[in-house]
Amino acid sequence: MLRINACLGIQGATYNERYVPGGYFDKIEFERLLEIVSEIDDVTGYFVYYPGHPLIDNPEKLKRKLADYNSKVSDIGAETWADRKWKYGTLTAKDKNIRKEAIKIIKNTMDLAVELDAHSVLVWPAHDGMDYAFQADFSGAWDYLIESLEEIGEYNSEVKVAVEYKQKDPRAKSYIEDMAKLMLIIKSLNVDNIGAALDLGHSFFAAERPAESLALLDRNNKLYQIHLNDNYRDADPDLLFGTINFWDILEFFYWLGKIDYTGWMHTDFTSPRDDRIKMFKLAIKFIRDFEKMAEKLNKHSDIIDKNLKNHNFVDNMTLIRELLFK
Amino acid sequence: MLRINACLGIQGATYNERYVPGGYFDKIEFERLLEIVSEIDDVTGYFVYYPGHPLIDNPEKLKRKLADYNSKVSDIGAETWADRKWKYGTLTAKDKNIRKEAIKIIKNTMDLAVELDAHSVLVWPAHDGMDYAFQADFSGAWDYLIESLEEIGEYNSEVKVAVEYKQKDPRAKSYIEDMAKLMLIIKSLNVDNIGAALDLGHSFFAAERPAESLALLDRNNKLYQIHLNDNYRDADPDLLFGTINFWDILEFFYWLGKIDYTGWMHTDFTSPRDDRIKMFKLAIKFIRDFEKMAEKLNKHSDIIDKNLKNHNFVDNMTLIRELLFK
Amino acid sequence: MLRINACLGIQGATYNERYVPGGYFDKIEFERLLEIVSEIDDVTGYFVYYPGHPLIDNPEKLKRKLADYNSKVSDIGAETWADRKWKYGTLTAKDKNIRKEAIKIIKNTMDLAVELDAHSVLVWPAHDGMDYAFQADFSGAWDYLIESLEEIGEYNSEVKVAVEYKQKDPRAKSYIEDMAKLMLIIKSLNVDNIGAALDLGHSFFAAERPAESLALLDRNNKLYQIHLNDNYRDADPDLLFGTINFWDILEFFYWLGKIDYTGWMHTDFTSPRDDRIKMFKLAIKFIRDFEKMAEKLNKHSDIIDKNLKNHNFVDNMTLIRELLFK
Amino acid sequence: MLRINACLGIQGATYNERYVPGGYFDKIEFERLLEIVSEIDDVTGYFVYYPGHPLIDNPEKLKRKLADYNSKVSDIGAETWADRKWKYGTLTAKDKNIRKEAIKIIKNTMDLAVELDAHSVLVWPAHDGMDYAFQADFSGAWDYLIESLEEIGEYNSEVKVAVEYKQKDPRAKSYIEDMAKLMLIIKSLNVDNIGAALDLGHSFFAAERPAESLALLDRNNKLYQIHLNDNYRDADPDLLFGTINFWDILEFFYWLGKIDYTGWMHTDFTSPRDDRIKMFKLAIKFIRDFEKMAEKLNKHSDIIDKNLKNHNFVDNMTLIRELLFK
């Protein structure tokens, strides 16, 4: 069964956005979230972040606190976007001190990952990109990107570092916009522990088929994290997982069932207008629904895969429809 | 010459967004902005808002303050989105008290428009829309929309109320998503003073040709405001006017030159990473550039319009290229 | 039960497209298609077209031929796009003779609709639009559009004329791009028999929620035809109905269950790479699947609608998930 | 000065598309096109294709014919899409005979490139992709892709083979959808003569910044062809170069001015509604316009590049505006 986590910064957050700067919710305190989540089946880990997460400066205490609730750290994110100082980017910023500062945060996060026994570290270069023509030095940015990622990878080759790609937002275009660009960068590195976070919503946003991105990342042993949410492929509001792209998600879970993914399913969605905890519970139900439907299909993978190989869509979908809806 | 305004909430704002909740800038105080802008040629008005704008509760004092800087109020916006209480919408909210409260703010803004001699009032129903299947009562929302807008229009038939359409954001889809939907609503009203704010970026975002939207709004005498910014048609980050959609903007200004627009050019863009005042000055230069280029074309409108009528694009563009680039 | 039709021009067509001008299939002859389809349950009508459809110049014979196969004409389309003479448009073409010719074809089609007892006539102004800045006379086009549609409506007020909107393709932007624009035009007409064809794929393509478009068209008694296919909202390749936008389609069928739609479900998809007849059968199964799932939900419409009215998405989706997947 | 070519398959073609299967034009015969183009300054080469191009089976005669008009072959395309037999793809087709046949055509084209002294060979795997969930074997397709491209590259390491990437169309998603995916594939090959055709419209369609794609391809010495056309980033109708994305194109030409591009500018646009030859002439004027504007900027590349490096957009655009519009 897939392992699912919760996250204070998501399920407990106020969700301040541009048009509602005060946020849609009051914050849920960490202890309170632990209590709430402990009553939900199927959630066995926490995605934490550095800096800023409660108890993050005392990893032992954080571990014990989580253990009190029969939980543990799943993965840990390096937060390098919420301060305006990152506005020109992190890994690609011209200012050497800014790059250094960002890399230092990531290294600290890697240390914490070891102490917390986290599966992997998340790096999202949110501001590394451009908005306008004549704003970016594409070639220089590439150099910085390689240099920064190699320094990160070399710091501790035992720690998996998952880079999160995203087409755009907050920049009109990111440097690392899709799976292929990220893999191209990874192939250019002289380190082996830089991989990918496949955020389902970002994959849709980048006009990918998530199952293809999963398959190609897995071929290269670079699939370190999966983030679950949904969208209409035109923006990334982190909508509730499972509510929009039914078939693509099913295909994604089908391929997931074919590989040996040892990471977590990160419940990475926002819920500005609905009860957050109810939404979280519904998300988990949907994860299990897709897992079960995919299992049903995986039992027939000999036929389904043969149809895939033979470009035989109509027989495949006829079969799948019968397996699911009859 | 087109009249251009400034706006504290835009040029002076911190620009807090989802990923940088503390904002990219320190706030500029109103008095300071007045000083700065007074040194810029071509800016002769201020777009103010209610509630929350400095001195807005003392309209006479606000007028005098602006007069001290040889300026005046251009238009006034009713702010009904920044508080989480609006999360289910304003004009279409099920909760009668919420609708009443939003309408009350708009009526107060209309009163202020009279006192401040503003050209028009802006209404943006930001949260009126939906994110998911099975979230919206489309038919009920339409009823509320008509009822609310009629109450607003009837309140003072002398005040122009400009409704701002937007495809999406903060909702995955707005009820009033484009020019056509807004005009359809307007046609369904029994009042005559509800019109449109044509935000150039929103027009691109809605996959419109802005010149067409302008032409059709003008046919119906419903073009009350023009907001200037730019984008890549895939999001609405309010980028600097003039930096992306050159030809569409030129066409827009060409058609603007053919009608009798008496409103203002609202400089409605954000600038999270560049010097805000430099960006504002550059925006004004671009406005004048497009105005001048359009004037050049308008002098040949007999030929250009004949080509338009005759579906003769190649001769038109050949001529226009020569007028502009030779 | 929803009435489903077949169409020679779709199920029997070679599907010539830009990159495969010779088409992906050999043509199926009409008689042969009749035989094939007669063996498929649930298909009780034919969408025919004028000019060009077999036997269309002999309506009595066409009726008898269809009757031989226990079928009848559902709707009839006026074909005004396949010849290059329409390249500057039909209803909005500057050339009066072109407009006249197109309108004549539509009038003939209306006559045929009477003779064939068709539910409605389809009009798709495919080439009426623009590709470039400085190519279109927006205001003049509007005048021609109104004038042409009124002439069509007046010709026989007993015949329903369904206009098909489409965002773009073959033009970069159509004049009648979405439901709102079409309804705005309809509201401007002095005739009452011009309505809409809601093509599901065109609705997605126009960034609509199809259920909203259905609800608003139905409010105005202007929903004359429904065309079923699917896409990724970014193009209109007329993919197999039901294979992409699961939830939006379910919502659409839920709202369809609330209204009194007396028209047909037009199976309007292409199948360049799969067996066409198998695909057609699968499409029909999906139509029935969605019909049944929607019926399940409609039985709980008291709760679902109350949740819709109360902006209560999470309870709605929790209930719907249980109804469908448990 | 950039070298510009013409192409019978483009400037002389009938342009049959889905909705106008008979095409918008009568064909221009090759000899006639040669005459017409010979009167246009600045066009010094022809993009030819195999199979199907006049005289292509007699390379010597073709060369002499072109020489008669003071022209030569620029590049040569391998046509592997127009027949329905390619509907399941070419380089990734499951059927070994299909792959073999496609590769044979490409090898023949490579031979012709040598005989005709063409700069490079174009390969566009148009049908290699997918439309639906559960239609594609992503992992198997990758294997075939690598295997096929290596066989092609090994056939003659002296011939540059430019692979053309495209987001979608005719498939809902291509395997080789953008620059990054293509470079990732190229990096996985054991041959060195497979590179890229950067089609400006495909780059916009893939949500790229063309200047970034150019810069990254050039870093890897893989920029073999440039195709010029324009679009609204939402489809690829091959609109007239220069008429839409002014600033992005200018940035592209600025970066082009910084590298040592030895290939051709391929005038790859369609013109279904305007006089083709007039459009062609206008396209050439726009190419020269952008070339000249970029030259103006390149003279100030010390300042502009410094601004790029320093993330200083506002000073850059202020300078560029002055250089262009003052």
Q: Which residues of chain D have a CB within 8 Å of the CB of C52?
A: none
Closest CA to D268 of D3, D85, D9: D9
Chains that touch A (3 or more CB pairs under 8 A): B, C, D
SS3 A128: coil
- Rounded to 5 degrees, what are φ and ψ at D234? -115, 0
Fill in the amino acid letter for C147.
E
pLDDT at D287: 98
Tell me which long-range contacts C211-214 makes (C-beta under 8 A, separation of at least 24).
C211/B133, C211/B138, C211/C248, C211/C251, C211/C252, C211/C254, C211/C255, C212/B136, C212/B138, C212/B173, C213/C178, C213/C179, C214/C252, C214/C255, C214/C256, C214/C259
CB spacing of D215 vs A317 below 8 angstroms: no
Q: Which residues of chain C have a CB within 8 Å of the CB of A314?
A: 271, 274-275, 278-279, 282
CB spacing of A20 vs B87 below 8 angstroms: yes
Q: Which residues of chain D have a CB within 8 Å of the CB of C81?
A: 19-20
Binding-face residues of D in 190-219 toward B, CB within 8 A = 207
How are beta strands C129-130 and B43-50 bridged, if at all? unpaired
Tell me which long-range contacts D54-58 makes (C-beta under 8 A, separation of at least 24).
D54/D8, D54/D30, D55/D30, D56/D112
The helix (H) or strand (E) run that includes residue A227 is: strand A223-228
Q: A203, exposed or middle or buried, with CB in 10 Å at 0-12, 13-18, 19+?
A: buried
pLDDT tens per residue, range C101-129: 999 999 999 999 999 999 999 999 999 99
Rounded Cα distance between A190 and C80, Å, is 61
pLDDT tens per residue, range C238-281: 999 999 999 999 999 999 999 999 999 999 999 999 999 999 99
Chain A contact present for B88, CB below 8 A: yes
Rounded Cα distance between C190 and C168, Å, is 27
Q: Give C64→chain D minimum CA distance, Å.
A: 31
pLDDT tens per residue, range B186-232: 999 999 999 999 999 999 999 999 999 999 999 999 999 999 999 99
Q: pLDDT at residue A326 above 90?
A: no
CA distances from A83 to A86, A177, A227, B19, C256 (A): 6, 22, 23, 8, 49
Neighbours of C147 (CB within 10 A): 15
Q: Give D211→chain A minimum CA distance, Å.
A: 8
Rounded Cα distance between C322 and C301, Å, is 15
Chain B contact present for A24, CB below 8 A: yes
Cβ contact C50:C108 at 8 Å? yes
Rounded Cα distance between A34 and A31, Å, is 5
**Torsional sign, CA A187, A189, A195, A197:** negative
Chains that touch D (3 or more CB pairs under 8 A): A, B, C
pLDDT at C224: 98
Closest alpha carbon within chain B to A131: B239
Whether this model's pTM surpasses 0.95: yes
What is the 3-class SS of chain B, one letter each residue? CCEEEECHHHHCCCCCECCECCCCCCCCCHHHHHHHHHCCCCEEEEEEEECCCCCCCCHHHHHHHHHHCCCCEEEEEECCCCCHHHCCCCCCCCCHHHHHHHHHHHHHHHHHHHHHCCCCEEECCCCCEECCCCCCCHHHHHHHHHHHHHHHHHHCCCCCEEEECCCCCCCCEECCCCHHHHHHHHHCCCCCCEEEEEEHHHHHHCCCCHHHHHHHHHHCCCEEEEEECECCCCCCCCECCCCCCHHHHHHHHHHHCCCCCCCEEEECCCCCCCCHHHHHHHHHHHHHHHHHHHHHHHCCHHHHHHHHHCCCHHHHHHHHHHHHHC
Strands of chain D (E only): list them: 3-6, 43-50, 73-78, 121-123, 129-130, 161-164, 173-174, 194-199, 223-228, 264-267
pLDDT at A41: 86
Chain centre to alpha carbon of residue A307: 31
- Rounded to 5 degrees, what are φ and ψ at C129? 175, -155
Q: pLDDT at residue B277 above 90?
A: yes
Closest alpha carbon within chain B to D315: B278
pLDDT at A117: 98
Rounded Cα distance between A318 and C78, Å, is 34
Q: Which of D19, D81, D239 sits opposite C132 (nearest CB)?
A: D239
Average confidence score pLDDT of chain A: 97
Residue length, chain B? 326
Q: Which residues of chain C have a CB within 8 Å of the CB of B93?
A: 311
Chains that touch B (3 or more CB pairs under 8 A): A, C, D
Closest alpha carbon within chain C to A281: C318
Rounded Cα distance between C309 and C325, Å, is 24
Cβ contact B163:B196 at 8 Å? yes
pLDDT at D41: 87
Chain B contact present for D321, CB below 8 A: yes
pLDDT at A208: 98
Neighbours of B49 (CB within 10 A): 18
Show pLDDT as tens, one digit a residue, over chain D (326 residues). 899 999 999 999 999 999 999 999 999 999 999 999 999 989 999 999 999 999 999 999 999 999 999 999 999 999 999 999 999 999 999 999 999 999 999 999 999 999 999 999 999 999 999 999 999 999 999 999 999 999 999 999 999 999 999 999 999 999 999 999 999 999 999 999 999 999 999 999 999 999 999 999 999 999 999 999 999 999 999 999 999 999 999 999 999 999 999 999 999 999 999 999 999 999 999 999 999 999 999 999 999 999 999 999 999 999 999 999 87
Q: A37: pLDDT confidence band, cut at 50, 70 and 90?
A: very high
CATH class name, domain B3-300: alpha beta
Q: Which residues of chain D have a CB within 8 Å of the CB of B325?
A: 289
Query: Within 13 Å and on the Cβ side, how many CA atoms surround D258?
Result: 22
Q: A222, exposed or middle or buried, with CB in 10 Å at 0-12, 13-18, 19+?
A: buried
Which candidate in C169, C273, C278, C286 is best for mutational testing of the D interface (most D CBs within 10 A)?
Answer: C273
Q: Taking CB atoms and an 8 Å cut-off, how many pairs form between chains A and C?
A: 60
Q: What is the ipTM of this complex?
A: 0.97
Query: Within 13 Å and on the Cβ side, how many CA atoms surround A78?
Result: 30
Q: Quickly tell me which residue has 């990531």 as its tokens.
A: A106
SS3 D230: strand
Q: Which of B88, B130, B309 sits opposite C137 (nearest CB)?
A: B309
CB spacing of D170 vs C22 below 8 angstroms: no
Burial B152-177 (b: 16+ CB within 10 A, else e): bbebbeebbbbbbbbbbbbbbbbbbb
Closest CA to C177 of B85, B45, D234: D234
Chain D contact present for A245, CB below 8 A: no
pLDDT tens per residue, range C24-79: 999 999 999 999 999 998 999 999 999 999 999 999 999 999 999 999 999 999 99
Closest CA to B125 of B147, B151, B145: B145
How are beta strands A194-199 and A223-228 bridged, if at all? parallel
Chain A contact present for C313, CB below 8 A: yes
Average confidence score pLDDT of chain C: 97
